[in-house]
Amino acid sequence: MIVVNEIKKIVEAERPVEFVEALAKGLAILESFDPSHPEMTLSEIARRVGLSPAAARRSLITLQTLGYVGQKDKRFHLRPRIMTLGSSFYFSAGIGEILQPNLRQLVETFGDASSVGTLDGDDVIYIAHCSVQRARRAAAVVGARYPACATSLGRILLAGLPDAALNLYLANLCPPALTSRTISDPEVLRAEIMSVRETGYSTTVDQLDYGITALAVPIRNLEGRTVAALNSSGYTGKVTPESLVAERLPALREAASHIAHEITRNPVLQSMIGT
């Protein structure tokens, strides 16, 4: 979620002359809604994004007029029009044509679920997903974002960072204890990431949510830089890290290579995921 403190960092570090802070605040408000906060009062929104009530109210009135936010009584909520922002990325980048076929093939072969994600700050954002699972757990839907340190995708992406960027990430890390198995010690996490660098894959068990065991591999550009990650996941208890590596790693690497090749043929998607 973009919060005002992050906006301030952007402003202080790299603010261009044309930077529109009001727009940044409006986006922060849109991103403040999540499953734990599907509707909020003005004061709740202002507190959540770190704005004054007056500033939050101005942004909300604008967003409401544009149809992105609705209001019932004194509580605000998102409206369906907000989905056009995400669908614009999905369709303009060709996600359905380039990424989804590979994910469907993995799911048809192994069952369970498969996703592609990219790094955004401290989080991994899911940009493509395919699943046969219907269990109630952390949802890996397109657009979902979770702490990178707690996901197989995120650890692949962190392993692909330059040393200086990784050191900065770990120095500022305050990982949430999402489960009793979530790694919260930065040095233990560093060791995990170093292991990922050596093996070229990442496995996680119940790090993000109970019941999720996953295996991920990098998607690299022509220069060898990791620009995205691909995973396959299943239910803890039905699969193990060892079984995923033995049964799925070759197919996962082949799919990642194919996706990387397809990305190089699509300049728009290349630009969008930072290749």
Question: Is 85 a residue whose pLDDT tops 90?
Answer: no
Of residues 114, 110, 108, the one with CA closest to residue 127: 114
pLDDT given at position 242? 97
Segment 262-267 mean pLDDT: 84
* Angle between helical axes of 42-49 and 21-32 (0-180°, round to 10): 110
Q: What percent of the chain has pLDDT over 90?
A: 65
2 confidence band (pLDDT: 50, 70, 90): very low
pLDDT in tens, 179-214: 999 998 899 999 999 999 999 999 999 999 999 999
Q: Which domains does the chain have, with CATH numbers?
A: 4-78 (1.10.10.10), 85-272 (3.30.450.40)
pLDDT given at position 271? 75
9 confidence band (pLDDT: 50, 70, 90): low
**Gap between the Cα atoms of 124 and 101, Å rounded:** 21
pLDDT given at position 86? 77
Q: Is the dihedral of CA 33, 34, 39, 42 positive or negative?
A: negative
Segment 99-121 mean pLDDT: 93
